[in-house]
């Protein structure tokens, strides 16, 4: 069954149309994914009713995300040729905006999806500096969902740079939507939509 991409990535897949693991040593990609999933499960949507403890836990999760996700690689990939046109300062701003959307929008939606579901870690493959961790989740509404995590060893840490749901790539999905918005509106229009989406969360 093809699960809707937005279930895992939250409204990040809608960005264009507008957790978390401790740093993992190379050689332990499955452990990195397990920590990611368990942390995402405990992430709480930011509201006025969150306790101080919950806010502190969310802040820690966000900090670790910056150390674990290959967010700059994702930012560069989804922008394509536009990446080189915007300059170093704007590249940094865009990367941070994308990270904020992961933290504030995607994580709560992912937490809703995973809940208390049992996850089977079915295989791990390491090929040089790249690794793939395959998992399956039995969801009451979506059925059996295959989730594949793609990781890369960067400076001794495994970082997740793509997630595939039943073969559908997060990176490809986000890139397609962002490219469509830039083609119709411009890079500035894309950034505005992303900021508006972040303000809604």
C-beta of residue 183 within 8 angstroms of C-beta of residue 21: no
Q: What is the side-by-side order of every strand in the sheet holding 119-127? A: 119-127, 130-139, 143-154, 157-165, 168-169
96 falls within a domain: yes
What residue ranges in 119-179 does DSSP mark as E strands? 119-127, 130-139, 143-154, 157-165, 168-169
Q: Report the number of distinct structural domains present in the chain.
A: 1
CATH number at 72 reads: 3.10.450.710
Beta bridge partners of residue 69, listed in sequence order: 160
pLDDT for the residue numbered 186: 95
Q: Which residues of the chain have pLDDT under 50?
A: 1-27
63 falls within a domain: yes
Q: What is the pLDDT of residues 125-164, one digit of tens each?
A: 999 999 999 999 887 777 888 999 999 987 788 888 999 9
SS3 at position 50: coil
Give the pairing type, strands 130-139 and 119-127: antiparallel
1 falls within a domain: no
Q: Which domain holds residue 46?
A: 6-200
50 falls within a domain: yes
pLDDT for the residue numbered 105: 81
Cα dihedral across residues 144, 105, 37, 123: positive or negative:
positive
174 falls within a domain: yes
68 falls within a domain: yes
Residue 34: phi and psi, rounded to 5, are -60, -45
d(CA 107, CA 114): 10
78 falls within a domain: yes
Instruction: Kindly list the distances between the CA atom of residue 54 and the CA atoms of 8, 103, 175, in Å, as whole numbers in the listed order.
Output: 22, 14, 33
pLDDT for the residue numbered 4: 42
pLDDT for the residue numbered 92: 96
């Amino acid at each position: 069954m093809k699960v809707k991409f937005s279930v895992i990535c939250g409204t990040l897949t809608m960005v264009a149309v507008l957790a978390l693991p401790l740093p993992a040593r190379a050689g332990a990609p499955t452990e990195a994914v397990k920590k990611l999933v368990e942390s995402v499960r405990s992430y709480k949507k930011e509201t006025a009713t969150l306790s101080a403890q919950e806010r502190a836990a969310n802040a820690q999760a966000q900090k670790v995300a910056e150390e674990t996700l290959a967010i700059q690689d994702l930012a560069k990939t989804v922008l394509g040729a536009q990446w080189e046109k915007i300059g170093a300062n704007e590249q940094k701003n865009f990367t941070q905006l994308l990270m904020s959307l992961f933290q504030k929008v995607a994580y709560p939606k992912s937490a809703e999806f995973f809940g208390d579901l049992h996850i089977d870690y079915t295989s791990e493959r390491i090929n040089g500096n790249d690794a793939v961790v395959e998992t399956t989740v039995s969801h009451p509404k979506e059925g059996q969902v295959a989730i594949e995590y793609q990781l890369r060893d960067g400076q001794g840490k495994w970082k997740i740079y793509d997630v595939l749901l039943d073969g559908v790539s997060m990176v490809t999905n986000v890139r397609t939507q962002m490219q469509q918005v830039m083609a119709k509106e411009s890079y500035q229009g894309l950034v505005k939509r992303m900021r508006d989406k972040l303000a809604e969360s």
